[in-house]
Amino acid sequence: MTTHIELKNVSLKFRSYRNPSPALKEHALEFMLGRTQPGYAEFFALKNINISISHGERVGVIGLNGSGKSTLLKTIVGIYPPTTGSIRIRGRIVPLIEVGTGFDMEMSGRANIHLNGALLARSKEEMLALEKEIIRFSGLEPFIDMPIKYYSSGMIGRLAFSIGTMIDPEILLIDEVFSSGDAQFVDKAVHRMEQLFDQSHVVLFVSHDANQIQRLCNRVIVIHNGCVVKDGDPSESIAYYYSRIVNPQEAVQNQAELFGGRIPIA
């Protein structure tokens, strides 16, 4: 069975509540004025997403904060069911999306290794065989039997990354995982990711670091306001992102200079 992700016409609608706990007098006033509007506004976090990702593709996802990058990954993994459209997945997913998701803060790092293994449908025997290497790679040997509520966010990120990438996932979803940890661990993490990429698993990688995206990915998707606005070659997509979204005014000025001060009308 070939590893594959396919999204067809996927949209996701959220509600933004104006006042989660209105006072009694506000209810009375609304009633007296005859207002029947709901106390929330709806908006689309994702709009008509059509993506097909095949075995061996390493796909970077870039966009401004709030553009829908992380929401896209959470929708694929099933945290948010789509409002419309369909998602088809072939292969076992390991999500590295939110640092500490699935961890029990009262349990030790060692216990959380086995807890996460169970959540990823791995047997006790498999996790026992991997435990020593996970601890070694994370660099948390002195703290591994300490409750992780005492860990820093960087330590939790290192443990989560070490667990998620040690079990050889078929589909790996990554959201800014390299932002946690010191420079030495980041270097190890990048090297580990390159090893996983070489094994032809499907990878979907969200990052604000264009250099990492350029280095690690063979395809880049640009998301803006919940829509896919560019999908293709990494260099072209990154250039599009910076010229059309990050610095659109600069792109207009460059175009004006190119055409002798006259902006052509399409």
Say what the pLDDT of residue 94 is.
Answer: 80
Say what the pLDDT of residue 93 is.
Answer: 85
- Rounded to the nearest 10°, the torsion over CA 96, 98, 103, 105 is 150
Q: Write down the residue that tokens 């990058």 correspond to.
A: 69
Give the ranges where the chain is alpha helix by DSSP (H). 24-32, 69-77, 109-119, 124-138, 153-166, 183-198, 210-216, 234-240, 248-258
Say what the pLDDT of residue 256 is.
Answer: 47
CA dist list (Å): 154 to 35, 41, 159, 194, 235: 49, 36, 9, 21, 30
Say what the pLDDT of residue 205 is.
Answer: 92
Say what the pLDDT of residue 37 is.
Answer: 60
Domains and CATH numbers, the chain: 1-92+213-266 (3.40.50.300)
Q: What is the pTM of this model?
A: 0.76
Say what the pLDDT of residue 30 is.
Answer: 64
Say what the pLDDT of residue 48 is.
Answer: 96
Which of the residues in the chain have pLDDT under 70?
A: 1, 17-40, 99-100, 177-182, 200, 250-266
Say what the pLDDT of residue 255 is.
Answer: 44
Q: Which is it for strands 93-96 and 4-17: parallel, antiparallel or unpaired?
A: unpaired
Q: Which is it for strands 40-54 and 4-17: parallel, antiparallel or unpaired?
A: antiparallel
Q: Is 261 exposed, middle or buried (0-12, 13-18, 19+ CB in 10 A)?
A: exposed
- What's the one-letter identity of residue 140? L
